[in-house]
Amino acid sequence: MKGKREKVKKDNILKRIIIILILLAVTVFILIKAQNYLRESNENEINLIINNNNVTSRLKHDVKIMDGIIYLSMDDIENFFDKYIYIEEEINEVVTTYDKKIASIGFDVNKITINGAIKKTNASAIRENEEVYLPISEMTDVYNMEIAYIAEKGIVTIDSFNREKINAYTKSKVSVKWKKDIFSKTVDKIGKGDIVIAISQEDDGWTKVRTESGEIGYIKTNKLTNFTTIRENWTEDKQITGKVNMFWDYFSRYAQAPDRTGQTIEGINVVSPSFFYIDEEGQLQEHVGSSGIAYIEWAHSNGYKVWPMVSSTEMLSGEEGRKVVSSILNSYTRRQELIEDIVEKCVEYGLDGINMDFENMYQEDKDKYSRFIIELVPRMQEVGIVTSVDVTAPDGDPNWSLCFDRNVIGDVADYLVFMAYDQHGTSSTEPGTTAGYNWVETNLKKIIEYDVVDPEKIILAMPLYTRIWTISASGEITGRNVVNMIDINKNIPNDVEKQWNDDLKQYYVEFKSGSSTKMMWIEDGASIEAKVSLVTKYNLGGASCWEKDRETSNIWTIIKTELEKGTN
């Protein structure tokens, strides 16, 4: 009897151990699977799905639905669609840019202006508790999207028309899981033949989907069939494949465009004639004429794109020039008028791009110039025009350097053109090189690293000229005369030896002329080759030269050969 009791006791202990092990196993299983079972929830608020991503947790303010209109806060539109959105006080409207659109919407009238055209809407912007909300469901044309509100689920979906969309059909009734696990919470149940958006097919046999009710989850891939691409990712081809190889072709408003009939320039794919300028009244003027039309035809017949300059300094200089430019930049209405004039000229002459050459501006107008470029680019993109913007070296001069926000310009424009010259120019208090290699590289790195500009959007502009400096016996600078590259050797006596400076990557000469001393830092094939090698070294977008007809004949071959190294 005693042995029997001991056996029962042992059996009970064993059973308890087994039960404990089972409970431990279940507990471990639950702990492991809990993260797949428990679903994040955004209860008591409208969920926002943008391009198949639930971004509700990233919203700064709630999505609002009023009278059937979907509102999104200006802060959230800034976060998800347009980081440059702002309220323009001059017109008391919110101004937003996106892709090929610039739009403005006010607070009192149900209308929106898109690329200059007015469209009626069912709502306006509103202010609520010091926050601004925009009727985003009325702005689908601006942001190139479709939007839907699934009331029973409290979900708003936004889908960009330029993003891929793939539909699939269910083979049978199926539960949509929150995680890729059969034990995960079911977020939706759908029937046989229902359509889902296939977001991504996973390697482990699951497909991430979005259901017609807006829920995002996972279905076993073998439960789906007939994957159909409704639309593909849309990308716009670049106008220039490979590196840009450009030159400026300058002629004043009193002259005609040069006749280049019969000429071809090796390696060139872009030309920038000085067709447009701002006058004393702040109006856009042109000097294209019949010679300019012939120039455009010559360029296009050779396969060159035409990106004419729009100059702020052709007629405007000094303080008066800065005032005129400032009056344009500080007025939304005047900016839009100038943009509209540029668009019309580009269309009229069948141009391929534009080169904005605004220089010598007030430092305090830096943000307004950025606004001008932000507003200009969508209108240019609308008509297929490339926008390139000239900037100087970030060397700290208020009106020539600190007037540019290179980060913003480099972000929104197609190209930022770094005018890497006049290291020592007309205002220099000591003689020196026009563009030493080390100075060019240092400032180029500042633009890339400090201003955070994508190197592939930077065009490095180089000088086809230098200066001959005249220093009196007393040490005073009495001359800073510009010498074109083609004329440099004419200004050097035969018995003067050129000295190579490896930091500057150029030759230097110094010689006596009467009681004065002449100094010159030479721009030639060797110096240009060194500078254009920076395009390859930093994977820049290309190179440009100021200006055509100052060069020696070997320059275009040197630039072409060096640029090809960066495209191989």
Distances, alpha carbon 411 to alpha carbons 405, 479, 565, in Å = 10, 40, 26
Domain with CATH 3.20.20.80 in the chain: 245-464+523-565
Residues 6+ apart with CB under 8 A from 136: 70, 71, 72, 77, 143, 147, 158
Residue 213 burial class via C-beta count within 10 angstroms: exposed 0-12, middle 13-18, buried 19 and up: middle
Tell me where in the chain the CATH 3.30.457.10 domain(s) lie: 47-150
Specify the pLDDT at position 318.
Answer: 87
- pTM of the full predicted structure? 0.91
Report the candidate in 456, 460, 431 with the shortest Cα–Cα distance to residue 443: 460
CATH class for domain 47-150?
Answer: alpha beta
Cα angle 521, 523, 524; round to 5: 135
The whole-number pLDDT of residue 20 equals: 66
Q: What does CATH list as the number for 164-231?
A: 2.30.30.40
Helix and strand element counts for the chain (H, E): 11, 36
Q: In the structure encoding, which two tokens stand for residue 386, read together?
A: 């490339």
pLDDT for the residue numbered 169: 97
Q: Cα 163 to the chain's mean position, in Å?
A: 19
Reply yes or no on domain 245-464+523-565 having CATH 2.60.120.10: no
Q: Could you identify the residue written with the tokens 């920076």?
A: 534
Q: Which two tokens stand for residue 131?
A: 């926050």
Q: Do residues 540 and 459 lie in contact, with contact meaning Cβ atoms separated by under 8 Å?
A: yes
The stretches in the chain having pLDDT less than 50 are 28-29, 31-34, 37-39
CA 155 vs CA 74, 199, 210, 211: distances in Å = 19, 17, 12, 12
Q: Which two tokens stand for residue 106?
A: 């006010």
Q: What is the pLDDT of residue 22?
A: 67
**What pLDDT, on a 0 to 100 scale, did the predictor assign at position 568?**
60
Please give the full DSSP string across 188-213, using - where no structure is assigned. EEE-TT-EEEEEEE-TTSEEEEE-TT
The boundaries of every CATH 2.30.30.40 domain in the chain are: 164-231
DSSP classification of residue 84: T
464-485: b or e for each residue (b if 16 or more CB lie within 10 Å)? bbbbbbbbeeeeeeeeeeebbb
Residue range 26-62, pLDDT digits in tens: 554 454 444 554 445 555 589 999 999 999 999 999 9
